[in-house]
Structure 1
Amino acid sequence: MGIYVHVPFCRSKCFYCGFYSVASLKLKEAYLKAIEREIDLRKGYLPEDEVHTLYFGGGTPSYLEWEDLKRVVATLEANYSFVPGAERTIELNPEDLTEEKLRGIRDLGFNRLSIGVQSFSDEQLKRINRTHSAQQAREGIELAANMGFDNISMDLIIGLPGQTEGELLDDVEKASRLPIAHLSVYMLSIDSNTVFEHMVKRGEFRLEDEEVMAERYQRVCERLKESGFEHYEISNFARNGRYSRHNTSYWQQKPYIGFGPSAHSYDLHSRQWNTANLKVYIDHLDKGMLSFEREELASVDLYNEYVMTSLRTMWGMEKQKLEGDYAVFWKQVQEQVRKYESSGDLIEERGRWKISEAGWVISDTILSDLFVV
């Protein structure tokens, strides 16, 4: 099983970010007490207690002090059994990559760093309201590597305001020269309740055309392949097989439990998600109650999720599973599969269907056509 911990605090809100967070530490102590209670209350959510992956996301987990992180980790370790060599990931902003912070994180057992760089252009970083510089990002990653962290991931964004293809490929080149094992490259989207959404409505900013974004995505994929990265998921690339084990478990539909406001959980039969409101989350746990919504998954939901998650990856979906577990739905979409096979966007290899490198550009369309409503 995997554990996700949502830390909802940020120094400031990035203009593109739609994840739940608050730009204040006012409720930090109340949050820490609440998440400790939630971990204790939900111990029996999954039948097993053996943890293979742990992921601290946010928000900005590295915004918390070492003592704060230790409280949460200690509570988890008191309730769950972590297997030897479990992957423990924590998200950090480049300005938090100091020797003291990194030493503390290592002492807590974190062995994988996920660093939100987004761009190596100081001008772009200011446009999206990031609180670090390009130099801080480069120097911080090199410091982490020199301190012994050998599983470092970082993020970049395609389609930032005013970003040219040359600037994007320069970002990719700079990233590939750093001592990282993993790179996530996301195409900018306009999420609800973000600064960018309001800017789009006021006509101050618009997304690049889909064709332009698709072309840049393909160029990024080509450039990273030349630099020794394996394209193993739509937005993710790894060197030497250093895939994100935690995120891969999502795509392989393994069970996980999420703690903190807005965190999701999956027990193979249903999904549930905590309220995306820090005060409500805290108030309920102060009374020994949980605040969440839950969805029972019907067989058609499980089929659609299997298609969506498995086709995101280079491993694809297993033909035997489709013909067995999901036979009734599989019969309904075989004509669509043949259509995409003829176009070269879907390929069959060793009993698995997967999206081709060229097909990943239209993955949303392929997935939609293979869903059963």
Structure 2
Amino acid sequence: MAGIYLHIPFCKKACHYCDFHFSTSMGLKEEMVQAIVRELELRQDYLQGQHVQTVYFGGGTPSLLNQQELQLLLATIKSLFIVSDDVEITLEANPDDLTPQKLQELRAAGINRLSIGLQSFHGPHLQLMNRAHTAAESLRCVQDAQAAGFGNITVDLIYGIPAPDHSLWHQDLATLFSLGVQHASCYALTIEPDTVFGRWSTKGKFKAPDDEFTAQQFETLLEQMQQHGFEQYEISNFCQPGYESKHNGNYWRGVHYLGVGPSAHSFNGHSRQYNVAHNKKYIDALKQDQVPFEVEELTLADQANDHLLTTLRTSWGCDLHKLEQDFKYSIREAHAGYLQELQGKGLAIIKNEVLYLTDKGKLLADQITLELFIEKVEKA
């Protein structure tokens, strides 16, 4: 079981919060698709014959690809890899791209799961973030996607956006639930240094809400999701029963994946590969039949930390026995006092050899994980 991720590094506009790799110039799009095809050909042995269960078009804005480009990429994958009959094929899309005609083209190309970047249903918030779509388009595109036959739709929302109170967040959630989508990914606004918001913050032009304001919105999110029958299977991800993202779930379970395209990452259990985050350098290298990446060999400590980082964010928790058996590391010995503190404060529980964060603990997930990280694990 494995996955394939394709990074499509083009956007119409630069969102003020985004630090992913992309370009707003489409001049290299056709060459980029050909370069990605060539990378797939050159790296067809990376997954070592494992069945591909998921294909994920991320970015950037993959909905900028046309039907022929999508069909070429998917046909290449199916010709080079063993693809499961029930493969989940996700495409990230912006609402302004999803016309009824475009939706039909996506269906015809083979996309069976849509991830729509709504971010908000409030016009001024969309303008603040420099999104390319309107609030009306946020509503319309989901309804059009459902009418086009998409029965597995996830939408993205952002909370912790500057506002005088929580009323707009309550409205966003109410609108989300009214749409009847199967999945939602909800992220706290993060101010990254190399973004417009980051630069504005440095100059005093932008001020993010304080941690308490954002935490209150997260707590509202958890309450509302539970009331509407959504399961929280990862800190930021919620689904109706049976609609977990297989692709993202596999990331958190440590399943191997191949990442193609500029800035894409790959993982095979013992190493990670990082493609160059530069469109022209990527294309030029592939024209010479070279894949421009760096490799990081993972030590046992790295693998243990990865296990902690991913599983503590999920509903299935961190398997302490697996840490001890596979990575020769016992959290219970190294952090006995801290684990007792976490449980005493209601931040975590240990049940059947598994460490889980409580709802209260999920607010501090990054901090807790860093405390449990290990600097070195000796090989057996």
Instruction: Report the TM-score range of the alignment, normalised by the length of the smaller protein.
Output: over 0.9
The residue that corresponds to 2:247 in the other structure is 246
Pick aligned residue for 2:358 from 333, 356, 359: 356
Q: Is the 8 A contact 1:303 1:329 kept in 2?
A: no
Amino acid at match of 1:61: P
CA offsets, 1:174-210, max 9 Å, x none?
Answer: 0011121001110111123211111111110022111
Rounded Cα–Cα distance in structure 2 between residues aligned with 1:279 and 1:127:
31
Q: Is the 8 A contact 1:337 1:370 kept in 2?
A: no
2:156 is the alignment partner of 1:167: no
Rounded Cα–Cα distance in structure 2 between residues aligned with 1:80 and 1:325:
29
Give the drift of 1:329: 4.4
2:213 is the alignment partner of 1:188: no
Rounded Cα–Cα distance in structure 1 between residues aligned with 2:202 and 2:320:
44
Q: Segments of 4+ in structure 1 off by > 4 A?
A: none
Rounded Cα–Cα distance in structure 2 between residues aligned with 1:109 and 1:29:
20
**TM-score, normalising length: structure 1:** 0.97
The residue that corresponds to 1:150 in the other structure is 151
2:85 is the alignment partner of 1:84: yes
Alignment of 1:110-121 (within 5 A): 110-121=111-122
Rounded Cα–Cα distance in structure 2 between residues aligned with 1:251 and 1:293:
22
**TM-score, normalising length: structure 2:** 0.95
Q: 1:150 to 1:163 in 2, by over 3 A?
A: farther
Rounded Cα–Cα distance in structure 2 between residues aligned with 1:6 and 1:160:
27
The residue that corresponds to 2:37 in the other structure is 36
Q: Is the 8 A contact 1:142 1:179 kept in 2?
A: no
- State the superposition RMSD in angstroms: 1.3
CA offsets, 1:208-259, max 9 Å, x none?
Answer: 1112211211111111211111111111111123111100100000100001
Between stretches 177-186 and 340-349, larger displacement belongs to 340-349
2:73 is the alignment partner of 1:68: no
Secondary structure of residue in 1 paired with 2:103: helix
Instruction: Specify every segment of 5 or more residues in structure 2 that has no aligned partner in the other structure, as ranges.
Output: 376-380
2:9 is the alignment partner of 1:8: yes
Amino acid at match of 1:208: P
2:145 is the alignment partner of 1:138: no
Secondary structure of residue in 2 paired with 1:358: helix
Alignment of 1:252-271 (within 5 A): 252-271=253-272
Amino acid at match of 2:363: V
Between stretches 20-29 and 313-322, larger displacement belongs to 313-322
2:376 is the alignment partner of 1:371: no
